[in-house]
A and B are shown apart, each in its own frame.
Chain A
Amino acid sequence: MLQLIQKLGQTTLASFSKLGRSSFYLGHILKCIPSILLRPRLLVNQLYSVGVLSFLIIAISGLFVGMVLGLQGYYTLSDFGAEASLGVMVAASLVRELGPVVTALLFAGRAGSALTAEIGLMKATEQLSGMEMMAVDPIQRIITPRFLAGIISMPILGVLFSSIGIFGGHLVGVGMLGVDNGAFWAQMQAKIDFRDDVINGVIKSLVFGFTVTWIALFEGYDTVPTSEGVSRATTRTVVNSAFAILGLDFILTALMFGDH
Chain B
Amino acid sequence: MENTTRPNQHLVSVRNLTFFRGDKKIFDNISLDFERGKITAIMGPSGTGKTTLLKLIGGQLTPNSGKVLFDGQNVHQLALAELYELRKKMGMLFQSGALLTDLNVFENVAFPLREHTQLPESMIRTLVLMKLQAIGLRGARNLMPSELSGGMARRVALARAIALDPTMIMYDEPFTGQDPISLGVLLHLIKALNTTLQLTSIIVSHDVQETSAIADYIYIISEGKVVDHGTPAQIQQSESEWVQQFMHGDADGPVHFHYSAPDYIDDLFSNAQH
> In the complex, are the beta carbons of A126 and B98 less than 8 A apart?
yes
Name the CB-closest residue of B to A121. B101
| Chain A 117-149 near chain B by CB (<8 Å), digits 1 or 0 | 000011001110111111111000100000000
Q: Are A134 and B160 in contact (CB under 8 A)?
A: yes
Interface size classification for chain B: 20 to 34
Interface centre among A121, A129, A141 (most CB of B within 10 A): A129
With a cutoff of 8 Å between Cβ atoms, the chain A residues found around residue B115 in the complex are 134-136, 141
CB pair A126–B112 under 8 Å, yes or no, is no
Complex: A228 Cα to B85 Cα, angstroms: 35
State whether the Cβ of B74 lies closer than 8 Å to any Cβ in chain A: no
How far is B164's CA from A44's CA once the two chains are assembled, in angstroms? 27
A132 near B98: Cβ-Cβ < 8 Å: no
Min CB–CB distance A81 → chain B (angstroms) = 58
Residues of B within 8 A of A134 (CB): 87, 111-112, 115, 160-161, 164
The reply to whether the CB of B105 lies closer than 8 angstroms to some CB of chain A is no
Q: Does B95 contact A (CB under 8 A)?
A: yes
Contact of B101 among A127, A129, A131, A135 (CB under 8 A): A127
Residues of B within 8 A of A122 (CB): 101
Interface string of B95-107 (1 = CB under 8 A from A): 1101111000000
B79-119 CB mask vs A (1 if < 8 Å, else 0) is 00000111110111011101111000000000110011000
Tally of chain A residues near chain B (CB < 8 A)? 15
A127 contacts B92, C-beta separation under 8 Å: no
Distance, CA A136 to CA B60, complexed state (A): 12
Q: Which residues of A contact B49 (CB under 8 A)?
A: none
A129, A134, A137, A141: which has the most chain B beta carbons within 10 Å? Answer: A134
A220-251, CB under 8 A of B: which get 1 and which 0?
A: 00000000000000000000000000000000
Query: Could you tell me the distance between the alpha carbons of A134 and B115 in the complex, rounded to whole angstroms?
Result: 9
Whole-angstrom CA separation of A185 from B96 in the bound complex: 60
Contact yes or no, A133 B116, CB < 8 A:
no
Tell which of B90, B99, B100, B111 touches A133, judged by Cβ atoms closer than 8 Å: B90
Check B232 for interface membership: any CB of A closer than 8 A: no
Nearest-neighbor residue (CB-CB) of B94 within chain A? A126
Partner of B98, one of A127, A135, A137, A141: A127
Flag A44-74 by CB within 8 Å of B: 1 or 0 each. 0000000000000000000000000000000
Question: Using Cβ atoms and an 8 Å threshold, which residues of chain A touch B112?
Answer: 134-136
Indicate whether A135 sits within 8 Å of B92 (C-beta atoms), given known contacts A125-B98, A127-B100, A129-B60.
no
Q: Does B174 contact A (CB under 8 A)?
A: no
User: Chain B, 216-237, contact with A by CB distance < 8 Å: what is the 0/1 string?
Assistant: 0000000000000000000000
Binding site for B on A (CB under 8 A): 121-122, 125-127, 129-137, 141
Beyond the given A121-B101, A132-B87, could you list 10 further A-B residue pairs with CB under 8 A, ordered by the A residue number?
A125-B101, A126-B95, A129-B60, A130-B94, A130-B99, A131-B100, A132-B58, A134-B112, A134-B161, A135-B85
CB<8 Å pairs between A and B, sample of 28: A121-B101, A125-B98, A125-B101, A126-B94, A126-B95, A127-B101, A129-B55, A129-B94, A129-B98, A130-B99, A130-B157, A132-B60, A132-B87, A133-B58, A133-B60, A133-B91, A133-B92, A133-B94, A134-B115, A134-B160, A134-B161, A135-B84, A135-B88, A135-B112, A135-B116, A136-B84, A136-B112, A136-B115
Measured CB to CB, the residues of B under 8 A from A are 55, 58, 60, 84-88, 90-92, 94-96, 98-101, 111-112, 115-116, 157, 160-161, 164
